[in-house]
Amino acid sequence: MRWRGGISAASEAPKEARLAARVKTHYFSSFNMPRSCVVCGNPPGQGMSWKVSGSKSNWSGKQTSTLSLEFPLCEECHAVRRGLVHRCVRVSGFKTPGLFDKQGWIVFNFENPSFAAEFSTMNLGVAV
Ligand SMILES: [Zn+2]
């Protein structure tokens, strides 16, 4: 999907009109990233990325788990689309691998359905 020329229209669109895609993957220490901008799908700029982090506390509230990931960003989004970039991807929930089950998971919320599909395929994710 291209946002060319439609930046203000896109940001004024009602929330429910925008497509979002939820993807669940295992809790990997590193992810395979598609070679495209997480916001618009253009080729990513050299060394440009958008850092996304999530955190949560355990039952006692004393221990906090955090995770952070960097998604590719194109030059245009890096330069002029900060509003869109800020909401292009969110970590909506995660579980760190446990002592016994050893299986953690992360749920991502993407604004760009095609990036979500590609990311999901590359990281054995499932749509949720
Ligand atoms: Zn972009």
Q: What is the mean pLDDT of each run of 10 residues along the chain (128 residues)?
A: 49 52 94 96 95 87 88 96 92 89 92 96 96
Query: Would you say residue 5 lies in a domain?
Result: no
User: Cα separation of 53 and 56, whole Å?
Assistant: 10
Displacement of CA 67 from its chain's centroid (Å): 12
Query: Would you say residue 6 lies in a domain?
Result: no
User: Cα separation of 71 and 69, whole Å?
Assistant: 7
Query: Would you say residue 10 lies in a domain?
Result: no
User: Cα separation of 34 and 50, whole Å?
Assistant: 13
> How close is the Cα of 62 to the center of ligand 1, in Å?
38
* Contact of 77 with 84, CB cutoff 8 Å: yes
> How close is the Cα of 63 to the center of ligand 1, in Å?
36
Query: Would you say residue 9 lies in a domain?
Result: no
> How close is the Cα of 114 to the center of ligand 1, in Å?
13
* Contact of 112 with 1, CB cutoff 8 Å: yes
| Domain tally, the chain | 1
> How close is the Cα of 9 to the center of ligand 1, in Å?
16
User: Cα separation of 5 and 43, whole Å?
Assistant: 18
> How close is the Cα of 72 to the center of ligand 1, in Å?
9
> How close is the Cα of 43 to the center of ligand 1, in Å?
8
Query: Would you say residue 67 lies in a domain?
Result: yes
Give the count of beta carbons closer than 10 Å to the beta carbon of residue 108.
26
Query: Would you say residue 8 lies in a domain?
Result: no
Give the structural domain span for 90: 18-127
Query: Would you say residue 42 lies in a domain?
Result: yes
> How close is the Cα of 96 to the center of ligand 1, in Å?
30
Query: Would you say residue 70 lies in a domain?
Result: yes
Please state the pTM of the whole predicted model.
0.79
Residues with CB under 5 A from ligand 1 (ion): 37, 39-40, 42, 74, 77
